[in-house]
Structure 1
Amino acid sequence: MDAANLAEKKELKAKQAFVLATLISTIAGTFITGINLYDRLVEQRRQRKRDKGQNKRIKELEARLNTAEEERTKLKEEQGKQGQRKRAKGGGSASDSDADDDHDRDDDGARHLRRSLQHGGPSIQREYDRFYNTMGQKFARGDLVAQTQLQSQIIVLQSTVIKLLEEALLTGQPPDLSRLYNTSEFAREGSIRALQDQYQRFLQSAPIPRRGPRPGAPIRRTSSTPSLRGDAASEAGWDHPPVRKALPPAAAANLYHDGMRSGTNRKGPLFCPYAVDLQHSPSPTLVHVTCPACGTLLENPPAGRDEREGCQSSWRIEKEVVIRDRDRDWERRGRSSSRGSRYGDKDEKVDTKSFILTPRFVAKCHRPDSGYACYLCLCHRDRDTLCKTEETLVSHVAGKHSIAEYKQDRDIKEMARTLPYR
């Protein structure tokens, strides 16, 4: 009896040692279930479309047979008199054409949904693995806050995504693609945010020494004295650009997608008139504490310094990029990474690029009265993203947009490290 109790206690202790890992595995499995249900729904829709086409062809054949029978009867009645044959011309009805158009309009939303379900689980797992490799079993066990947050994301996924897809399979009615997509994105971003928050809490309670170079997080506190790669920065010559600390936690509920731009039901303009002016003209500088158009509180640069020289409220974000280079002096230039592999005669290196989101970028994203709309989504996406807070906007830009898109915006500055990354 004692041996059985001891075995049960050991098993319970082993499970408790990996509570967070189990929750992450459950979330990833829920995303996979969502993909499977979605694929079944798509196959069901294709089958119904095939059945509908077959029924349509059967009706056309029946109409032709009826017409031929009528012509034969008419020929017999006329007894040799030549009559005109009426040939039926089949065609789809207007309602069928409208239904096909509706399916075409839904295709974009369906692709976005499947991509979100497909990448949700792996992206959460990668974030967990990154933190686990640094902190080990302590991170796998997790704290009560992170466990509660991840459990809530599982409930959201199962009660919304899985439930709606199952109902669509049973009823045959098309699901609300926009609601499914938003829920999937919220669950993914909320889970990643829960892992990042727990990592920060563990660092504050017991800092862990770094074990050699490792890839950086998407957003990290500034630890060196970089300089901006821009004309204004090089001319100014200031040594310590005031960069805001790492992005604070932002609830997933603060961000939502406004649907396809062509069919949006948004009330009012997307941007404030002053924000539109900043978007289309390089000359206006951010010199107002409040927006002159809508009265929204805006950040301003320090007194006596032009906004282009940097501001006290800039945001720093970081992106990893894989670089293949033939140069054998790569490591001597101080830009080598702990991860790298050889492909033929090329070396693959993982580098980290840093960018500054200036206050001018945030200002040109603000909406009338309150909130923000992502300017990069307006330029590079087919749907708009609305954010309730500045922190949520920065988190969205860091996680959803690429380096190529950063470089096309004059208000996002690339930073050059003056010291090798450690």
Structure 2
Amino acid sequence: MVFVELFVVLAFIYLGARIGGIGIGLAGGAGVLVLSLFLGVDTGHIPVDVILIIMSVIAAIAAMQVAGGLEWLVDLSETFLRKNPKHITFYAPVVTYFMTLLAGTGHTAFSTLPVIAEVAKEQGIRPSRPLGISVVASQIAITASPISAAVVFFSGILEPIGVSYLTLLAVCIPTTFIACMVGAFVSNFLGCELKDDPVYQARLEKGLIKLQGKTQRDILPTAKPATYIFITAIIGVIVYATLISDTVNLIPNPSLGRNEAIMVFMLSAATAIVAFTKIDASEIANAATFKSGMSACICVLGVAWLGDTFVSSHINDIKALSADVLNQYPWMLAVTLFFASMLLYSQGATTTALMPAALAIGVAPITAIASFAAVSALFVLPTYPTLLAAVQMDDTGSTRIGNMVFNHPFLIPGLVTISTSVALGFAFGGIML
């Protein structure tokens, strides 16, 4: 029966991947139905806190977007990149990394990708180089964002075994950022020079390539106040988490837990943005970030519930099979997370589906934290939205998907970035833990 149940889990994950979009979440729920009603498996744990945190954070981000805050941040990013155009391959991932770190979602990269492509093209730099590593940076930064669903959930299951939220961030932020810079260095040597690319030359001859210059944006007067409110809320979350942590312990026995604090800080930020900027609150639900965030909730609900239903019912068998292997080869956890995230298309879903099982079978905290970055392998299959957007926004044709599917400009920078982050995670973790 174990193999029958595993087949059901994999079949519905495959079905969800084929459907695309929120299909992975929808199919996950259908998989739980089959496991519970037809095979008699007790349903697993629903990651309610993760879903509620995603909803709260997205509400604040969407409010900031309606007020023009994201547009202002993109304008600042373009100004920064145009001041340092020669080093676009290094500066572009810095921009996408910190925008994701701030917002807790990699979809913020959508608005910066056209800027990156344009600046690279103007400098005669192959756009696939900065675009490739920028997409990867926007994905791996999820595992370092203080308000991302993946980090919040992971820290929640680490705290009972003695690893605090702040310790997790202290390891993940420097390791992922340094890894992105290593990935940028490698990306800087990938592919021929733009002027030597036959696809670029063919497009140039056909007049398909145009230089647009700096985009003129009308920044709303509400943009800056909304952004400041949102950033203040993030700082508030980190400060409060510090005050209630076992290390500082300035607020013993807090009436408001950390997860609940994130929710109320974010909802309060959204309220303050609406109140002070006078935006139309009904427009928040129409914002692109709101729609993508709600889709993420469905994905996490379905696939995490499906994964936990199977794992929790066979945890003893999984322990017996996996414990020895992971004790001898701890890096195998990173490999497992890497391939899982390729299919699940979500750092949050991969974390909620697999990390509890990893810790339950006795994986050391340092191994789990070091391997955490591997949940960001969303770049392997060339079907993720930000990856496809980067391909479409590069009119030089240098950012293209090869006829072998996997030979695209995101794969090597991504592999280098994740493997470097995992290696640094073991090094930093050995110091911090």
Higher helix share: 2
Higher relative contact order (CA 8 A, sep 6+): 2
Question: What is the TM-score of this pair, normalised by structure 2?
Answer: 0.22
Specify the structure having the higher radius of gyration (Cα): 1
Question: What is the TM-score of this pair, normalised by structure 1?
Answer: 0.22
